Amino acid sequence: MPTYKAPLEDIRFVLNEVIDAPALAALAGYEEATAENVDTILEAAAQIGEEVMFPLNQSGDAEGCTFANGEVKTPSGFKDAYNTFREGGWSGLSCKTEYGGQGLPILLNCVLDEIFSSANMSFGMYPGLSHGAYNAIEKHATDELKNLYLPKLADGIWTGTMCLTEPQCGTDLGLIRTKADTQTDGSYKITGTKIFISAGEHDLSENIIHLVLARLPDAPVGVKGISLFLVPKFMPTDMSRNAVACGSIEHKMGIKGSATCVMNFDNAVGWLVGKPNKGMSAMFTMMNEARLAVGLQGLGLAEVAYQNAVIYAKERLQMRSLTGVKFPDKPADPLIVHPDVRRNLLVMKSLTEGCRALAFWVGRELDVELKHPDEKKRAEAADFVALMIPIIKSFTTDMAFDVTNIAVQIYGGHGYIREHGVEQYVRDARITQIYEGANGIQGLDLVGRKMPEDFGRLMRTFFHPVADFIAAEKENAALAEFLPMFMSAFGKLQVSTLTVATRGFGNADEAGAASTDYLKLFAYVAVGFMWLKMAKVAAVKLPLAGDRAAFYDAKLRTARFYFARVMPQVNALNLAILSGAKPIMDFPAESF
């Protein structure tokens, strides 16, 4: 049986000592987000995650969701757990107080996404999608729609979805066929079929609010002719049934406790959200935060897989150490003594902790974008978030799949046996690499949209702070062993950026061929930057740490491993990028 304990000490370290999350309390509206209050919330989140959600994770995976007569039943225990979750106020944590929320930072929601994904990713998807729906409505809908729907979403008594994909189109949303016909009362009739709709139908809430992409009769072709509509399962005035129904649910390899639905809209009543034919910009409000949330799902799965791999490696006896007996009182030494097992664990640890720091940094900047009084600071934060979203979504989920696979490898034969639990994490993690924009699409977004925008404006929000940090710390003896390695990697990122930008300008295939490798290279450098910042803090705190000395010492040792054994992957990625598109594109289709 697997186990899970929320890594609160590591989370507090990042929040309080690395990214200065307590400073958010100085922003208007966030006065309650003090370190003390946040810590109280984290303790409560750990408790509900460990004691309410986690015990349902394996059973929910084994039972899955069931579908009959157009209705979906979630796994046993999910409904009671959701009631506990809702009554605790978790649904409205970062929702505005005027709609019944608590008005706390988005960053705190990011932290909870990690904890709840570790505990039970399938369960966490139901309220997680509701938060995305809340944001899209809050930013783009009329006051009438906001006042009607947002209090219910913040309370959690109603939940939300995002309905994009159709049978004939996934990422290429310009091909959608769902139509919206104008009615005399200002509403619309929505007709079409959407697939792969997470939480499209379930028994947890009293109503489900669908945000649906559709076309108006006179809409232009392609993505410029897409509008966004709010379509409730039950009409809000009298709770009569709307003409929207679940046609089936998918039988998936993972996240089986989360219902993935085919949704049929048959002249369902809906209301326009935002302006006509501007649905993509409104939907991206939902998609960007959803992509960050998926990255945090990957982080949560990596954390719980690492925890269980460490426990198993310390307990499982397997041969003697290569350098002599280490546990003479036992018939064999535990796995933890073997170099390759330790290497695997350190890969897991260094990537998980580094990605946590990077993701939380992005979460913090979401709050700066929302609340900072300086317009320039808000704009810079928005640019930084836009730049980093594809990196967080893609790299962290790729990392999660690698880390969960390593956990299976450490368990050996017990790893692929269901009762030990780690094989589920692999199956769950694999799906995160696909939904909310497959990871290859994230690379294209990075090199095709984010890199060239306004001659590199977004790129500067990362490159300039890194360059400033290097200049400020070049004489810091505590970082002397790390800075040369980091500067070399940063230099290769700069070279690769220039290469992709210049070649891609003349031939888009050059940018496309480099996109995935470039995103990974960027991510390794970004995670390395966070390890530099964590190492700086640990080096300062260690001499006077007392009982926490082992904690800070472990941070420095993990940073040392990351720079020595993980960061060098930048070298290979840089060479691959420099090779250009020819090895890929100069290959006849018939030769595949």
Question: What would the 3-class secondary structure string for 144-203 be?
Answer: HHHHHHHHHHHHCCEEEEEECCECCECCCHHHCCCEEEECCCCCEEEEEEEEEEECCCCC
Q: Hey, is 5 helix, strand or coil? A: coil
Q: What is the pLDDT of residue 290?
A: 86
Mean pLDDT for the stretch of residues 359-382: 97
CATH fold of 8-152: Butyryl-Coa Dehydrogenase, subunit A; domain 1 (1.10.540)
Q: What is the pLDDT of residue 174?
A: 80
Mean pLDDT for the stretch of residues 395-407: 98
Query: CB neighbours of 403 closer than 8 A, spacing ≥ 6?
Result: 301, 302, 305, 306, 347, 348, 351, 352, 429
Q: Is the pLDDT of residue 281 over 90?
A: no
Q: Which pLDDT band, with edges at 50, 70 and 90, does 378 fall under?
A: very high
Give the rounded percent of residues in the chain with a pLDDT score beyond 90: 95
**Which pair of structure tokens corresponds to residue 453?**
């925008």
Q: Hey, is 227 helix, strand or coil? A: strand
Q: Is the pLDDT of residue 524 over 80?
A: yes
Q: Which pLDDT band, with edges at 50, 70 and 90, does 280 fall under?
A: confident
3-class secondary structure for 489-521?
Answer: HHHHHHHHHHHHHHHHHHCHHHHHHHHHHHHHH
Q: What number does CATH give the domain 159-280?
A: 2.40.110.20
Q: Is the pLDDT of residue 285 over 90?
A: no
Give the rounded percent of residues in the chain with a pLDDT score beyond 70: 100
Q: Is the pLDDT of residue 584 over 80?
A: yes
Which residues have a catalytic role annotated?
A: 436
Beta carbons within 10 angstroms of residue 480's beta carbon: 11
Q: What is the pLDDT of residue 328?
A: 95
Q: Is the pLDDT of residue 36 over 80?
A: yes
Q: What is the pLDDT of residue 574?
A: 97
Q: Is the pLDDT of residue 284 over 90?
A: no
Question: What are the residue ranges spanned by the domains of the chain?
Answer: 8-152, 159-280, 451-592
Average pLDDT, the chain: 96
Contact 431, 253 (CB under 8 A): yes
Does 159-280 match 8-152 at the fold level? no
Q: Is the pLDDT of residue 546 over 90?
A: yes
Q: Is the pLDDT of residue 173 over 90?
A: no
Q: What is the pLDDT of residue 363?
A: 96
Q: What is the pLDDT of residue 144?
A: 97
- What are the pLDDT digits (tens) for 5-35? 999 999 999 999 999 999 999 999 999 999 9
Q: What is the pLDDT of residue 349?
A: 98
Q: What is the pLDDT of residue 172?
A: 81
**Which pair of structure tokens corresponds to residue 193?**
């079929």
- What are the pLDDT digits (tens) for 462-510? 999 999 999 999 999 999 999 999 999 999 999 999 999 999 999 999 9
Q: Is the pLDDT of residue 556 over 90?
A: yes
**Which pair of structure tokens corresponds to residue 493?**
């990122």
Q: What is the pLDDT of residue 288?
A: 78
Mean pLDDT for the stretch of residues 298-326: 97
Mean pLDDT for the stretch of residues 173-193: 94
Q: What is the pLDDT of residue 170?
A: 79
Mean pLDDT for the stretch of residues 92-107: 96
Beta-ladder partners of 198: 260
Q: Is the pLDDT of residue 287 over 80?
A: no
Q: What is the pLDDT of residue 216?
A: 96
Q: Global pTM?
A: 0.97
- C-alpha of 380 from chain center: 21
Query: CB neighbours of 214 closer than 8 A, spacing ≥ 6?
Result: 176, 178, 179, 180, 188, 190, 192, 226, 227, 229, 270, 279
Dihedral sign (CA 480, 482, 483, 488): positive
Q: Is the pLDDT of residue 55 over 80?
A: yes
Mean pLDDT for the stretch of residues 448-457: 94
